[in-house]
Structure 1
Amino acid sequence: MTILRRSLLATPALLAAPALAQGWSPDRPIRILVPYTPGAINDTLARLIGERLGDVLGQHGLVENRPGASGSLAIAATAQAAPDGQLIAVANTANLAMNPFLFANTGYDPRQDLTPLAVCARVMNALVVPAASPFRTLAQLVEQARATPGKLSYASSGAGSSPHLAAELFKHRTGTDIAHVPYRGSAPGLADLIAGRLDFSIDNLPNTLPHVEGGRLRALAVTGSERDPAMPDVPTFQEAGFPGYEVYVWFGFVGPGRLPAAIRDRLGAAIIRIATGAETAERIRRAGATVWTRDPAQFTALLGQELEKWGTVIRAANLRIE
């Protein structure tokens, strides 16, 4: 049974959740901060959830894009907001589990200054090479990287981005030395990759899939625990001979720290209810993501696991962004 199907089947239980029945209700529209510019998957999710909040809570969501500091600006503003449920943010793996190790001061401690509300979706990455690349398998790429340290190069959407850290984890696990070429976003990096100026990239599936389907890039592996339905012929890293490498970028909503439990639980249940509704779930799927939900307690546990994982990778690679 797929994650999406399981989520949809769970909807009746969510509709009856006690957290939605009693307690806190917002008295004005809820502001939703987005750490990036319009068009990113964070922005899409914020708008999908925001437009339906009124159906569940009686007040709709007002989306406000606040890019800057590799996504940290919006999250810091959320951490500093009043804990009244009127301001939340949509965050991802990079904002919460990577940036605290990459930057000297993000303006927030994800464990102390934020309240996890709900995870609603995730995407896996794909390792892609130019269509004309000589590498047909992941093993061939790794063999060449080991034979010629520092000669191969990979593109990322910026220093400290999730594609950057996914590649650093790959290097860490394979014991390879590969040059990093950061770009301002995925599009220019993938354009240079398509042109053959770099050797590979490990980028989010929604960014790479159109180029793979168009024959401009070749996917060698996906970073999930199982193959993605959009690329059924592309193996996972484990299937390709590299077990233990798994990367998802998940997307969740957070509020300020010290958010009262009644507000936390009602917001979290509302977000999950909306995300697992048939229409919204289909729109999330069309955006290239998979509906994948975690309630406040599960989100808190996930965050702890991810902080440990990415902290280890970042410290091992001696990465720091000033």
Structure 2
Amino acid sequence: MHRRVLLAAPALLALPAHAQPWSPDRPIRILVPYTPGAINDTLARLIGEKMGDALGQLGVVENRPGASGSLAIAATAQAAPDGTTMVVANTANLTMNPFLFANTGYDPQKDLTPLATCARVMNALVVPANSPYRTLAELVAAAKANPGKLSYASSGAGSSPHLAAELFRHRTGTDMAHVPYRGSAPGLADLIAGRLDFSIDNLPNTLPHVEGGRLRALGVTGSERDPTMPGVPTFQEAGFPGYEVYVWFGFVGPARLPAPIRDRLADAIIRIANGAETAERIRRAGATVWTRNPAEFAVLIGEELRKWGTVIRAANLRIE
């Protein structure tokens, strides 16, 4: 008996090493596809600063803007699959850019490993405060009666607000004129001045103007009403079933990331995002905590690629 225990000892001693969960051996680099101040950047910093408690290593944020976010995503795709490089991507980066640009430098389903989503924001369709349109149905009726005459602003060709409006146009069978701007602020300024008919923009961008009485919200693009504008119906409530648009944000790593590393990172991101302090700070940034695990995130990417691919091809959009 004593001899058998001694013979088994090496194997018993080896078990803890194999049973230990993966831990990074150096700080985790979190790439951000945009400049500081963007919501991707805010989320990267909120999650990164808590990684020391969750994983034993801090998340170090590195802003790498350019090519509508594609530079940071491509750099992540090319990184070693060791768990020390990830990027905070959004809907546009992963499911719109592949159809808009000839070469983004990555395939979102082949070159990346989905880890976890952490937040999302819905959009609101807004019109000037003195607009004659008080419902989505009235706006659509006017667009059908006057093809090509109604105009809408966006934060740029191929941006998520632009494509949200294209999806609306596609679903309603209307012809409306797109007026792209360099960012949301100048487009909303012209909308407030009455130079345009409407815009579908991220709720954090439109809410201050709605609350200030400068714009009127006709609908929100979420699956349910937003608590900041409880009197504004969803598109589905307003008679447009199946129209739902969120801009979501999630962490992805390079392809071939080993499952133990993937799962440990995903668990840390989800637990940090759902923590009371981080969740409140995400809410103050204008977003809602919304977490999905690696398998659910992969399904989401596939569904959104199909949806936005259809919209972009139908609109014949291409950015050189």
Give the TM-score of the pair, scaled to structure 2. 0.92
1:1-322 equivalences in 2 (<5 Å): 22-322=20-320
1-structure distance, mates of 2:156, 2:130? 25
Q: What do residues 34-68 of structure 1 show as CA deviations (whole Å, max 9, x unaligned)? A: 11111111111111001111111111111111111
CA contact (8 A) 1:70 1:160 kept: no
- The amino acid that maps onto 2:182 is R
Q: Which has the larger radius of gyration?
A: 2
1-structure distance, mates of 2:274, 2:151? 39
1-structure distance, mates of 2:47, 2:76? 17
Tell me by how many angstroms 1:22 deviates. Answer: 3.6
Query: 1:13 maps to which residue?
Result: none
Tell me by how many angstroms 1:199 deviates. Answer: 1.0
2-structure distance, mates of 1:229, 1:22? 43
Q: Describe the SS at the equivalent of 2:267.
A: helix
2-structure distance, mates of 1:287, 1:234? 21
CA contact (8 A) 1:222 1:237 kept: yes
Tell me by how many angstroms 1:25 deviates. Answer: 1.1
Tell me by how many angstroms 1:168 deviates. Answer: 0.4
Give the TM-score of the pair, scaled to structure 1. 0.92
1-structure distance, mates of 2:30, 2:196? 37
CA contact (8 A) 1:123 1:288 kept: yes
Structure 1's consecutive aligned runs of 4 or more residues displaced over 2 angstroms after TM superposition are none
Query: 1:8 maps to which residue?
Result: none
Residues 140/54 of structure 1: CA separation in 2 closer, same or farther (3 Å cut): same
Query: 1:12 maps to which residue?
Result: none
Q: Describe the SS at the equivalent of 1:127.
A: strand
Q: Describe the SS at the equivalent of 2:82.
A: coil
Q: What do residues 63-88 of structure 1 show as CA deviations (whole Å, max 9, x unaligned)? A: 11111111111111111111111110
2-structure distance, mates of 1:39, 1:201? 23
RMSD: 1.0
Query: Any unmatched runs of 5+ in structure 1?
Result: 1-20
- The amino acid that maps onto 1:51 is E
2-structure distance, mates of 1:275, 1:182? 33
2-structure distance, mates of 1:169, 1:51? 37
Further displaced range: 129-138 or 266-275 = 129-138
Q: Describe the SS at the equivalent of 2:30.
A: strand
Q: What do residues 278-306 of structure 1 show as CA deviations (whole Å, max 9, x unaligned)? A: 01011111111111110001101111111
2-structure distance, mates of 1:40, 1:209? 17
CA contact (8 A) 1:155 1:201 kept: yes
- The amino acid that maps onto 2:102 is A
Tell me by how many angstroms 1:135 deviates. Answer: 1.1
2-structure distance, mates of 1:22, 1:159? 48
Q: Describe the SS at the equivalent of 2:49.
A: helix
- The amino acid that maps onto 1:304 is G
1-structure distance, mates of 2:77, 2:89? 12
Further displaced range: 45-54 or 59-68 = 59-68
Count residues with an aligned counterpart: 302
Tell me by how many angstroms 1:23 deviates. Answer: 2.2
2-structure distance, mates of 1:64, 1:160? 25
CA contact (8 A) 1:118 1:272 kept: yes
2-structure distance, mates of 1:244, 1:285? 26
CA contact (8 A) 1:33 1:87 kept: yes
